[in-house]
Structure 1
Amino acid sequence: MSSKRKHLMSADIIINASKDSFIKLNPMTMMKNPVMFVVEAGTFVVLLMTLLPGYFGTEGRTGFNATVFLILLFTVLFANFAEALAEGRGKAQADSLKQSKKEMKANKVVEGGLKAVSSTDLRKGDVVVIKSGEMVPGDGEVIQGLASVDESAITGESAPVIKEAGGDFNSVTGGTRVVSDQITVRITNDPGESFIDRMISLVEGAKRQKTPNEIALSTLLTTLTLIFLIVVVTLGPIAKYAGIQLDVPVLISLLVCLIPTTIGGLLSAIGIAGMDRVTQFNVLAMSGKAVEAAGDINTMILDKTGTITFGNRMANAFVAVGDQSMKDVAEWAAVSSMKDETPEGRSVLELMKKEGLSWNEALSEGAEFIEFKAETRMSGMDLQDGRKVRKGAVDAVKKWVAAQGGSIPNDLEQKGNAIASEGGTPLAVAVDQQIFGLIYLKDTVKPGMRERFDQLRKMGIKTIMCTGDNPLTAATIAREAGVDDFIAESTPEDKIAVIRREQAEGKLVAMTGDGTNDAPALAQADVGLAMNSGTTAAKEAANMVDLDSDPSKIIEVVAIGKQLLMTRGALTTFSIANDIAKYFAIIPAMFMLAIPEMNVLNIMGLGTPTSAIISALIFNAIIIPLLIPIAMKGVAYKPMGSAQLLSRNLLIYGVGGMIVPFVGIKLIDLVVHVWI
């Protein structure tokens, strides 16, 4: 998808947004934005006064009225353009997704064999067989086989991913392509309910629902608009009673400058752009609320394996115990791993080759491989001569040896703890009644993780690592990575418990996961980020899906959420602050002729009442398009405390929001005054 994205200012998006700006003038559409609806209503009134000056008794003010009308019209159009531009980016992404959603043939399993049917005829529960080179006809779960699947139509990444039955990576998405082998898939959605269908509807900004914070801000803006509307309506009679004649266009100009038109015109665009930034990061947010919640996160739960560490525990060294030699430990470790196809098992043989060590491969002839099981926590070989070789968790191997009447070396526990204290995982190696030594497995912390957790700490976010490792290993990894807390030997129930505990303290919690056993915790978390490579259950339970399946990406998602909240707050501060400058332009202009003493408030030194009003309106109109890039891109976010962030915003967007209009209105007035 990344290759299909369109640039923010591409010509077709701008052209379509310009057209939509006029379409959105429909009053039924404008009513969704009360602030801009009031501006549109005022524009219509001024238009009538321009076209029918005799009816309204404004024959001598036609030029002024026409100028006010055009400025107000452009104010509304610019606000519509900001929203349409944000929506256009989402629609462009949706169009690229629609290209991958097409009707295709599927080999449906029926009684007696396979039947070729259209993908649109498939229903939830149907079973299909997909061969190499064929497209996946719909969302489903692999129930048989293993295959490489090209998901570039969804993720934009060209590297295929392995999908297999029975694991956490068993879900496939309609529109992707099988590039090797063959899989049997059970369809999990009816037509129109697929993952791509949901993506299309979610990335189209027009269908986006407002978030709670956005609704609250909209309510505040509506209330301010109503208050100023009452003030302006009553101001006319009051001025007339005082002997001051205020034309309706002047009052409308005052109203438009008083109400928060800047943030009112950009509010919707900011929200849409926030979701769009997450989507551009290849994360699908199920709602704007999820993005906003990410910005308010207090606690983050992360799995160790694959998130904080690379996830592949590899043999790093052989450690002898008792009076055994390192060579003997290495040889029996290799024998136990000759038929072990796990990454750990293969790494033992690779380490042997790296160290230049050899082993008796003939021992595997006729031997029975003992697979690893969660109950025994061991694997190994039963040799043809009757000897049994095992490798596995230290406590499990100790129990196995003791059960056969063997003895435990005195230094086994001490050397096992030493490995664990360094962040490694010790595997004991035993033959019958004798323990020979340990395999030192090491899982490395990803580069830069400590710095990233430091950034989260500056944001005020607590990090908790969950791992199935023993407490010593977990403590070492936690210390090396720089997380705030950890849970060792964790279970799915432990993850839910810690989430509920944090939420009970009034905190918002984020979590990543990909397995079915992660689904309950993903559903419980305020922000649940599921991996696209994971199970259907995990993706349905979460409120975000990472199409690239990078668990650490939740850190970026939190930063985007905070950027969204900060952008909205910054532009709201700027909008309210620049209203102050507009007051000093409009108010003195309205009264200075009738009340000369009011001229003391004309601190900008504006030319005439007419040029002052026109200049303020022009500035009010052009500031919206000038702020569109900030609304789209977002205010640059740097990790810092809330007090420091507030001070920074008040300085830049508060003080700056007052200075910019003073300068801008004055410069515009210099031109307008000459022109008038």
Structure 2
Amino acid sequence: MTALSPSPAPSRDGDDHPRRAGTVGGTPVGFGRRQLLAALPDAFRKLSPVALLATPVMLVVEIGAVATTVLSIIDPSTLGWMVTVWLWLTVLFGTLAESVAEGRGKAQAASLRALQAETDARRLRPDGTEEHVPSTSLHQGDLVVVEAGERIPGDGDVVEGVASVDESAVTGESAPVIRESGGDRSAVTGGTEVLSDRIVVRITAEPGHSFVDRMIALVEGSERQRTPNEIALNVLLASLTAIFVAVVGSLYFVADYSDAHQSVLVLTALLVCLIPTTIGALLSAIGIAGMDRLVRRNVLAMSGRAVEAAGDVDVLLLDKTGTITYGNRRASEVVAVGGTVQRYLEEATVLASLADETPEGRSIVELLEGVQPEPLADAVLVEFSAATRMSGLDAAGRQVRKGAASAVEAWVRAEGGTVPDDLAPAVQRVSELGGTPLVVADRVGTDAPRVLGVVHLKDVVKEGIRERFEELRAMGIRTVMITGDNAVTARVIAAEAGVDDVLAEATPEDKLALIRSEQRGGRMVAMCGDGTNDAPALAQADVGVAMNTGTMAAKEAGNMVDLDSDPTKLIEVVEIGKQLLITRGALTTFSVANDVAKYFAILPAMFVGTFPQLDVLNIMRLSSPASAITSAVVFNALIIVGLIPLALRGVAYRPSSASSLLRRNLLIYGVGGLIAPFLGIKLLDLVISLIPGL
């Protein structure tokens, strides 16, 4: 797949993207024994109280584990050591979840570091000669030559030539991509390999500030900041923890007053089981995994906040050129006028385009690649110039010209020729379709020149983009195309692409005004763009997705970069954002709901000796008070491990209304959170009751 091809539709089951399932840039990302073992050392390091300050819930659990450890040493008992061990495991499982999530980013970073090996660069001197220098000595603005089999020494733009480039180490795609001067396929990444031909690259990044450097920092999580939503949830969890600490602390005195004395060990077990340890342990892993899932879709998020915001996007603004359409206009047809034979027109059009090295000129040759005109003797290519607005070819006995309609008409008339009557309607038809008409004419011998036909240059909408916009519409997102083109051209492209609205003849100020207007209306706005003129809008948008093939200004302004340069990738970005929010909500619901079973397990066990009537609350018919308390503590720890894969993979997202999502969340994770602990604690009780001395 080239950088201009739309990505296949994303999976809806929360699994890895189908075209990169199980890998990140070639690095395995599965969840299994190997990943757990690799994450264990870091999980133990995170047991430091300083590290746990960011997760107050787990800090309280660790304090409780320390307290029970001391008590078990002073007064050893089977129950004491069982509770102590599983409290420590609860904290460890929480740090393990975060370590596994971070480990996936570190694995990706390790593969990316292979791209940073110092390479030999062939830098061009001002006189055009080459000098060999290490890639680390290159600076912004340097020109380097790269040929087949060589690595590109640094980030840059192709300024000369066209080549096939292997970017699999960065994007995970095995298929090479085409990079060429001009248009929206000129950006190259340092460390990628040229497979064919020769290109000249202008370096755009200083050493240590390359795109790969930024990517490594991002996937390792060193630049990850907690999002407002995550901070708010942390505050809620900390508040709930403080409330339960106060409640359990007061329970000590209530129990003492009622002659149902409770040990600190039992009260600690109760506290740990009642505070929201499940979501507290998994919260950080959910956020890290959300950014990781974006990386696996070849999208780099500069912050977790951008991922969250993507889940609430209402409006998507897309720049037309290079985003909805290919970066340059392409020839779509040649129409004969004045009775010219079609084959003769096509041959003349190819001859007139041989000197045209613009992307438009090359597209004409590609369109007519099967046409092989007879070679002309002593042919001299006439390059396009802004003064003549024409290009062509002069040979012995023949002249061929191609260019703007008015320029070619003026040349024909100045040389004594006439313009056919059907030329104006043909030019008008192309203009009304939103295209650019180029007129072809030739002159044979001493005859007067004549007009042969019209070439239709059009903005070509990227394949499959209309279907992707329909998906966005089903998700409740309104799409708006922004372009500097006139209203006629804009409406034609908008209709072909299937966008909901269009802003024509837009200046950078117009884009900013539109985004601010939407935001004032309470809507979350996403913007896709690739040009320098898109930078202000990308910076203002809640979610700014810059194309990797775009300018450095655009990439610096956005808070996401799409390595595939596919504007419809925002569908996947939005899905991942929604998946992140839904996963966090689902596991919070589950965490709160499963506390209910623990009430029925621990509270009767604590007071049944003093108040036998409370045995009626022992609806699980647990074997003994000690077994009930231990089973609840063990379940509290094991459920964290059981939910790590879900936290990393994310809850499946399917486009639906907010009420449907809420209902589904409550039915699956609310009801599931109620039922699972009853079953789990009862099964554990059957096993634990067999332990002697408990």
**TM-score, normalised via structure 2 length:** 0.83
2:105 match? 90
Deviation at 1:594, TM superposition (A): 2.1
User: What's the counterpart of residue 562 of structure 1?
Assistant: 578
Q: Does 1:630 align with 2:646?
A: yes
SS class of match (1:370): coil
**Aligned-residue offset at 1:568:** 1.0
Cα pair 1:269 1:631 within 8 Å, conserved = yes
Within 2, Cα distance between the matches of 1:401 and 1:362?
21
Cα 1:468–1:383 shift into 2, 3 Å: farther
Relative to structure 1, is the Cα distance of residues 35 and 144 closer, same or farther in structure 2, using a 3 angstrom cutoff? Answer: same
Q: Quick one: which amino acid aligns to residue 84 of structure 2?
A: F
Distance 1:630 1:413, change over 3 A: farther
Cα deviation, 1:441-470, whole Å, max 9, x if unaligned, reads 566655543332232223221111234555
Distance in 2, matches of 1:435 and 1:409, equals 7
Deviations 1:502-543 (A, max 9, x none): 233333322333333333333333222223333333322222
- Corresponding residue for 2:670? 654
- Note the C-alpha offset of 1:84: 1.1
Work out whether 1:515 is the aligned partner of 2:531. Answer: yes
For residues 550-629 of structure 1, the aligned pairs below 5 Å read 550-629=566-645
Alignment partner, residue 313 of structure 2: 297
Cα distance per residue 1:245-273 (max 9 Å; x no partner): 11111111111111110000101111111
Structure 2's unaligned 5+ residue stretches are 1-22, 442-447
Match of residue 45 from structure 2: 23
Q: Does 1:227 align with 2:243?
A: yes
Task: Say if 1:236 and 1:329 are closer, same or farther in 2 by CA, change over 3 A.
Answer: same
- The amino acid of 1:94's aligned partner reads A
1:233 maps to a residue whose letter is G
Q: Which region of structure 1 is more displaced relative to structure 2, 116-125 or 573-582?
A: 116-125
Could you tell me how far apart the structure 1 residues matched to 2:183 and 2:335 are?
Answer: 33
Relative contact order (C-alpha < 8 Å, sep 6+): which is higher? Answer: 2
Of residues 618-627 and 314-323 in structure 1, the stretch that sits farther from structure 2 once superposed is 314-323
Do the aligned residues in 2 keep the contact of 1:171 with 1:533 (CA within 8 Å)? yes
Contact 1:445 1:477 (C-alpha < 8 Å) held by counterparts: yes
* Match in the other structure for 2:688: 672
Q: Is the 8 A contact 1:570 1:649 kept in 2?
A: yes
Identity of matched residues, %: 54
Residue matched to 2:11: none
Equivalent residue of 1:205, what SS?
coil
Give unmatched runs, 5+ long, in structure 1: 54-58
Which string of whole-angstrom CA distances, capped at 9 and with x for unpartnered residues, describes residues 52-77 of structure 1? 01xxxxx6xx2211111122111111
Match of 2:295 in 1: 279
Inter-CA distance 327–101: structure 2 relative to 1 (3 Å threshold): closer
Residue type at the aligned position of 2:635: F
* Aligned pairs for 1:492-531 within 5 A: 492-531=508-547
The correspondence for 1:427, drawn from 433, 437, 442, is 437
Q: Which amino acid aligns with 2:54?
A: K
For 2:62, the equivalent position in structure 1 comes to: 40
Kept in 2: contact 1:456–1:639 (CA 8 A): no
1:67 aligns with 2:89: no
| Residue in structure 2 matched with residue 262 of structure 1 by the alignment | 278
Aligned-partner residue type, residue 531 of structure 2:
G
Q: CA RMSD in A?
A: 3.9
Cα distance in 1 for residues equivalent to 2:407 and 2:507: 19
Question: What residue identity is the alignment partner of 1:368?
Answer: V
- 3-state SS of 2:581 partner: helix
Equivalent residues, number: 662
Task: Give the CA deviation at 1:566.
Answer: 1.4
Q: Is 1:426–1:438's contact at 8 Å kept on the other side of the alignment?
A: no
Q: Which residue in 2 is equivalent to 1:100? A: 115
* Residue 679 of structure 2: aligned partner: 663
Asked whether the equivalents of residues 607 and 669 of structure 1 are also in contact (C-alpha less than 8 Å), the reply is: yes
Give the counterpart letter for 1:659 in structure 2.
I
Equivalent position SS for 1:32: coil
Shift of 1:158: 4.9
Distance 2:555 2:41 in 1: 37
Paired residue type of 1:214? E
SS at match of 2:564: coil
Q: Which moved more, 1:472-481 or 1:629-638?
A: 472-481
Which of 215, 237, 248 matches 2:231?
215
Q: What letter is aligned with 1:643? A: S
Cα 1:324–1:97 change in 2 (3 A) is: closer
- The one-letter code of the counterpart of 2:220 is E
Change (3 A) 1:454 1:109: closer
Indicate the residue corresponding to 1:481 in structure 2: 497
